[in-house]
Each structure stands twice: as structure tokens, then as C-alpha cells.
Amino acid sequence: MIPLIDIVRQHQTLKGEMERAVGAVLNQGQFILGPNCQSLEQEIADYCGTRYGIGVNSGTDALFLALHALGVREGDEVITSPYTFFATIEAIVHTGARPVLVDIDPHHYNLDPEQVEQAITARTKAILPVHLFGYPADMKSLSSIARRYGLHLVEDACQAIGAEIGGKPVGSWGDVGCFSFYPTKNLGGVGDGGMITTSDPELCERLRRLRTHGTYRKYHHSCFGFNSRLDEIQAAILRVKLKHLPKWNLRRRALARRYREAFRGLPLQLPSESPRVTPTYHLYVVQTPHSVSLKQWLLDRGIGCEIYYPMPLHHQRAWNDRFPVPSLPRAEAVAGTTLALPIYPELSDAEQETIIKAVVRFFKEEKAR
């Protein structure tokens, strides 16, 4: 069996380091917003090319708190993608604002800047691009649109820590970058966790207060905030893992290169590539009209895989109950036809060859049918 994602393998290689880090937290006794959280915030900020990091309890909260801190409220509109994890629009809805979904670029599955510009109205307050599967959105165009129309830019970088455009990391392009440390992410904790990055000192201060009940001094509250704090055990583990992240992301890229060579000539759309873009291959997603039968074929051979995402957000029941359903033909065509294959640093070359052979064989048999 080759699982789609295997976090236990990664933890086995780091067992000693992780146990020592957790042991130190247990001995020290400060479990919320302690020294590990503070150090991690600075280390992530440095890694992402920003001045500040604000540790929170999930990627979802990172998005929600970022929008809230930027003043997004009821009556506002936030433009985002219909092809992402549901949390992206939940964060918008919970501020009271309306998510405005616009169509994607069919090659890299991220927001199409032209569609974004056409969707701007007097109510638009922010643009929220998602760097889906670890491939950065077109931040140059989106930053220029945001500047021209005076809009906030909030990056959903939950799947893309370490990705860059022209050497500039994601999370440093917008007013804020939002990251998730959900266990299966490229940098994952052993529970929920998230981080907001920014270079704006005032915004950083607002976010630090908002995540902990609006507190500016013990038992002194300047606003009505939330409880969304990164705990010390997560921070200690994430600090251990962050040291390995650059090497892990390189390994993911090497695996992606091998897939690309091996799948050349097959009727598959492979992940987008550009010389200026450094993706992180959080997921290696191929596109084919045969995604359902290819998925079954691989599962029958003990190879884990999954359709990401089977349905665009505007076709979800939760959306239908609340908002009118737009027509977004590209997202509709892509959803359900994309299949994620195993890609993680611990995947061995031999396992990858097994996956490649199975995919190639599927298309040979498909042709013969």
C-alpha cells in the first residue's frame, strides 16, 4: 500500500527531536503563547519575507482574523476562487461580507486576474487569492489590481508555505498571508494551528489583540476579540519541522520533475510550470476526464489518490441555501476531473516508479478498450 499522504513516516524520522521539544515544553509549563510561539512567529516571518508572524489556532482563523482586522464587515464583498477548500469562503461569510466567486485560470486553477477586475464593485473590500495545491496565484497582476482600486489583498497560502514568485515568497505579497499547520500540510503540526504574516506594525498589533480577547495588558481589553492562539506544543513541534522544510520542498519538486518526465505523452494535464514560479507541490494534481476510473484503478493496486475537489464551492449545498449560483464554466469543468497522486518527501523512488507504471498502464488499457 502506498498512501496518498503519510505523516507517520515523517514523524518516525524526527521522533527524537520532536520528543525532546515536547518534553521541554512539559517541563517548562507555559502552554499558550510562550517562548516557542514567539520564536516560531519570527522564524516563519523570516522564511516568508515579512516583518511579523502572528500564531493562531488554524488556517481558517488566520483568514477570518485577517479579514476582520482589515475591517471587512457586513455589506462588503470579497472576491475569491470557487475552486478551493471550503474554509476560504467560510472565513469571508463569518465576517458578514459576501464572497464573490470568479472563474479560475484552467492551467494553474487559481484566480484569473481578468475575471477579478471585472467583478469589482463599489462594495468590494478585498481580493482573496488562494495558492492552490502549492502553486502561487498571479500575484503580480493581482497586487497591481488591488493597488489600482484601493483594495486589501489577503493571501490564502494555507497550501503553499515556501512557494515563491520571482524569488519573493507567498505570504509577503498581500497585506497579509494566511497559513495552515493542519497535520497534512507541507509544514504540519500534530493538531490544528495557523499563522498570519504581515509587515504592517499596526495590523500586527491589531491581530495580536484580536487573537486573545482584545487584550493589550493582562485583564485590560481594547476591543472584543476572540480566542485563537497557537499552543506551545504545536509551536515547539513546528519549529523542529521548519528546519527541514526547505529540504522537504526540494524533494517534492524532484518527485514532481520525475512525474512530469514519466507522464509526457499521456493524455493528462500536468501541474502548471513557469520559470519564475517555485511551487511547493503540496499536492501533485493531474487532470483527466477519466479521473474516476483512474482513481479506482490506482486504489485497486494499493495506491492512494483523491479527487481534489469534486465540486466547486458554488455547487455546495451551504452556498445554494444562501447565495445565488453563478455560472463559472472553467471551475465547473475542472472540478471532479483532478486527481492527486502521492507526493511527499518520504515517498521512495521505487514507490514512485510503482505509481508511474500503474498510471501508464491505465492509459494503455484505456486506449485498447
Ligand X SMILES: Cc1ncc(COP(=O)(O)O)c(C=O)c1O
Shortest Cβ contact with ligand X: which residue?
A: 59
Order of strands, sheet of 284-287, starting from the edge strand that comes earlier in the sequence:
284-287, 338-341, 306-307
- Among the listed residues 53, 59, 162, 189, the single contact to ligand X using CB under 6 A: 59
State the number of CA atoms in the 13 A half-sphere of 202 facing the CB.
4
Q: Assess 85 for contact with ligand X (CB under 6 A).
A: yes
- Among the listed residues 10, 50, 58, 197, the single contact to ligand X using CB under 6 A: 58
Q: Assess 87 for contact with ligand X (CB under 6 A).
A: yes
Q: Which is nearer to ligand X, 151 or 170 (CB)?
A: 170
Output the CA–CA distances (angstroms, integers) from residue 252 to 41, 277, 284, in the order listed. 25, 15, 9
- Among the listed residues 84, 172, 198, 352, the single contact to ligand X using CB under 6 A: 84
Sole window of 85-93, 104-112, 266-274, 346-354 interacting with ligand X (rule: CB under 6 A): 85-93
Q: Which is nearer to ligand X, 263 or 284 (CB)?
A: 284
Q: Assess 230 for contact with ligand X (CB under 6 A).
A: no
219: left (phi over 0), alpha (psi -120 to 50) or beta: left
Sole window of 13-21, 97-105, 153-161, 255-263 interacting with ligand X (rule: CB under 6 A): 153-161
Residue among 328, 330, 282, 329 nearest 306 (CA):
282
Q: Which is nearer to ligand X, 66 or 130 (CB)?
A: 130
DSSP state string for 256-275: HHHHHHHHTTSS-BPPP--T
Distance CA 59, CA 364 (A): 41
| Type and span of the H or E element at 26 | helix 15-28
Q: Assess 110 for contact with ligand X (CB under 6 A).
A: no
Sole window of 83-91, 139-147, 212-220, 320-328 interacting with ligand X (rule: CB under 6 A): 83-91
Least separation in angstroms between CB 182 and ligand X:
4
Q: What burial class does residue 223 get, using C-beta atoms within 10 Å of its C-beta: 0-12 exposed, 13-18 middle, 19+ buried? A: exposed
**Strand locations in the chain, DSSP E?**
52-56, 77-80, 98-101, 124-128, 152-156, 164-165, 168-169, 176-180, 194-198, 215-217, 220-221, 277-278, 284-287, 306-307, 338-341
Residue among 158, 162, 135 nearest 271 (CA):
135
**Contacts for 9 with CB less than 8 Å, ≥ 6 apart:** 344, 346
Distance CA 160, CA 294 (A): 26
Q: Which is nearer to ligand X, 2 or 89 (CB)?
A: 89
- Among the listed residues 116, 130, 335, 347, the single contact to ligand X using CB under 6 A: 130
Distance CA 293, CA 297 (A): 6
Considering CB under 6 A, how many residues would be counted as binding ligand X?
15
Q: Assess 281 for contact with ligand X (CB under 6 A).
A: no
Q: Which is nearer to ligand X, 97 or 358 (CB)?
A: 97
Residue among 143, 228, 238 nearest 190 (CA):
238
Sole window of 44-52, 72-80, 152-160, 343-351 interacting with ligand X (rule: CB under 6 A): 152-160
- Among the listed residues 10, 80, 95, 159, the single contact to ligand X using CB under 6 A: 159
Sole window of 103-111, 151-159, 196-204, 338-346 interacting with ligand X (rule: CB under 6 A): 151-159
Contact 205, 186 (CB under 8 A): no
Sole window of 82-90, 202-210, 211-219, 341-349 interacting with ligand X (rule: CB under 6 A): 82-90
Output the CA–CA distances (angstroms, integers) from residue 304 to 8, 9, 42, 300, 352, in the order listed. 15, 15, 36, 9, 12
Q: Which is nearer to ligand X, 45 or 158 (CB)?
A: 158
Binding-residue pattern over the window 160 to 199 for ligand X, x denoting contact by CB under 6 A: --------------------x-x---------x-x-----
Q: Assess 88 for contact with ligand X (CB under 6 A).
A: yes
Q: Which is nearer to ligand X, 7 or 266 (CB)?
A: 7
Q: Assess 60 for contact with ligand X (CB under 6 A).
A: yes
Q: Which is nearer to ligand X, 76 or 192 (CB)?
A: 192
Footprint on this chain of ligand X (rule: CB under 6 A): 58-60, 84-85, 87-88, 130, 156, 158-159, 180, 182, 192, 194
